[in-house]
Amino acid sequence: MDADVLWERHANPKSGWSRVALTPLLVYAVYVRDWRLLVAALAFAVANPVLFAPPADESAWMTRVVYAERAWVRAGRPVVGSRYPAVLNALDVPAFAYALYAAYRGEGRRAAVATAVSMSLKLWFVAALVRWYDASDANAEAEVHT
């Protein structure tokens, strides 16, 4: 399947929000040692971009998140790095890794806090991309309506 088709299907708000829900689900699966749930969640993460139809319009915030991410990547901007907003993703990686580690060790509170930090950093990152996208000509240049 073509990358543009994947981006378009992933732009469905159901795709984006269900992926957001995967973060705590993955941590929970590790915490309770439910390896079938973990495998199912990972399989859903892989299949997610093709499960939903492209959105009808760009009005949903999560749709603009995906279009902004695509425009950001196509503009050659870093997704992980030392400058804002890429630094938010750089901080998210160890936060999520620690959430999984704490869950594996059975430290539920620490896993929950680290999961909340990880999700907050990711949402902060994508919110920054949407602000950039909405304020720039990136949305016109992204050819989002293919």
Q: Which DSSP letter does residue 55 get?
A: P
User: Given the structure tokens 């890429």, which residue do they identify?
Assistant: 86
Number of Cβ within 10 Å of residue 117's Cβ equals 17
What's the domain count of the chain? 1
146 within a domain of the structure (yes/no): no
Whether residue 117 lies inside any domain: the answer is yes
Within a domain: 46: yes
**pLDDT at residue 136 in the model:** 86
Q: List, for residues 73-96, the tens digit of each pLDDT value.
A: 999 999 999 999 999 999 999 999
- Domain boundaries, position 92: 3-141
Over the stretch 93-124, which tens digit does the pLDDT of each residue have? 999 999 999 999 999 999 999 999 999 999 99
Residue 24 lies in a domain: yes
Whether 26 is in a domain gets the answer yes
The average pLDDT across 8-19 equals 92
- pTM value is 0.88
